[in-house]
Structure 1
Amino acid sequence: ATLEANADPANALQAWLIAARRSLLLGRLDEARDALARLDGQGLPASLAAVAELATAELALRSLHTAPAREALARARIAAEHAGVAALLAEVVDTRAALDRPAARQYFSGGERMLRLDEVEALLDSGTLVVDACRRAVGAGTTWRALARRPVLFALALALAEAWPGDVDREALIARVFRTRDPDETHRARLRVEIGRLRALVKPLARIEASARGFVLRPHDERPVSVLAPPIAGEQAALLALLSDGAAWSTSALALALEASQRTVQRALADLEAEGRVRAIGQTRARRWLAPPLAGFTTILLLPSTLAIA
């Protein structure tokens, strides 16, 4: 706003692009959309137009709208070629190639497969009951329930979805969710309480019924069930995916993007650093974290999105 007020439109437009990119990195898609909207009809020079279209494509991808993303990338390529900036053109080409790389892994009754982003979009639009291990949510169609801040309920939902259409033994659920191999009556009582909470949460989507040995997931309308997982396995997959963009991240920014506590992120980073998979630069509040790119994997799906998860 200051740059615009002082008749410096070129730098003002650049600043709005920086603001849009920052919002995208933090998962604040509405803010990014507002910043990009200020650039419409501004007659951007070719180089800035290419950057703006790249940001528009990324916004569409993080909202899982692949068709608008492809259109924005086509416009970005034209602008980059007109600008004659080789590095910018390379970025456009690399982003376009990401659409054809695995973005997630789907587990379903009888098998698993790798999915591109357009296939993820089709799955989420198909009416299938999806337990989404990328965003820690469960839903179908437009009805979603967020479980990112309820790890026990998410672990239960994931175990039931992985076993569908079969049931899961109570002892197996206790061992997986409460991480104990020697359960007692307090664990069994807690399992009943947590199953009751999950049952109430997913009531619009499915029933959770008791079986002779445990519990079973029964989706409404005989929907199929799928688990959507990151393309790389492990609890630290989402953290590595964020770091793989090549930018230097602070612990607080990572915690915000992952909807986790800073202490949780710090522990995960310490483990990854010991394995040589990430590195730190700077000290104390100035410390930033970096990791080499994960070749062959797009990270878009692992970042916050505007899916209707409530």
Structure 2
Amino acid sequence: MPTETNSTHSADPATPVTPTPTPVTVLGLGAMGQALAGAFLKAGHPTTIWNRSAGKGEDLVARGATRAASAAEAVRAGELVLVCVVDYDASQAILEPLAADLSGRVLVNVTSDSPERARAAAKWAAGHGIAYLDGAVMIPTVMVGTPEALLFYSGDEAAYKKHEALLKSLGGQSAYVGADHGLAAVYDLSMLDFFWTSMAGLVHGYALAAKDGVPASALAPFLKAHIALLGLVVDETAQEIDSGEYQGAEANLAVELAGVEHILHAAERRGLDVSVLRGVRDVAKRAVDLGHGADSWTATVEGVRNPGA
């Protein structure tokens, strides 16, 4: 398995770009596929669309998109072909018969799946002479095409550089993160890991307050300020994890673990589900047992890395 971890980000993502009109094809017209095709159209790119089932994309056609009668016809119309479907089983089922048509073109797959599936798809593409980029869309459909929209790309760097302005039509914060085709998915999963566990904590915090009669709306303003604190520790935590040095002089893990235990017991007394909190406690306790009691909270990463310890 590739071990590349260095990221190669493009120039300032906020820099305005004016892409040359480029014929593009979008395969897959779910909500996200339609949003991506719409962004290409808005940026002035001749856009051909195709979907496995009929009845989608009428608005895009009204805006100037060309509906292809077949996937092969759609691919032949585009210099860059973007596929956005439910999973890699679906994308490969569409792409396998199109290998000859895709040869010599740039294929961008923004279908969500695992790094392993992305690497397997890249191997297939390389075997057919297809320049391949794997991608991840990190924003909801309403943000597609905006300067704030974040998308990750990994794989063929030359293909990315050639079409960087075109791809930034989909999002001004688009970033190329490395030659390993699996890296876009790694970034995607890591960021969503943080997002969904944070959302779980948000919901659980509201539920805990509600048990004592505090409505979520009353807690919300204070949580906004609390969440802002996370932004202050992101870089420091990353540095500690990369260096393996967890400075706990100001607040050590053993003390923090005691605080987690207090929250856990309070939630249990109020009849709440505590499976997530128990997981947090167990990971922290494992890190303490591994000798990190005097280190910072970042040392819980050792509990995550050593689940059998």
TM-score under structure 2 length normalisation: 0.30
| Structure number, greater radius of gyration | 2
Greater strand proportion: 1
Greater RCO, CA 8 A, separation 6+: 1
TM-score under structure 1 length normalisation: 0.30
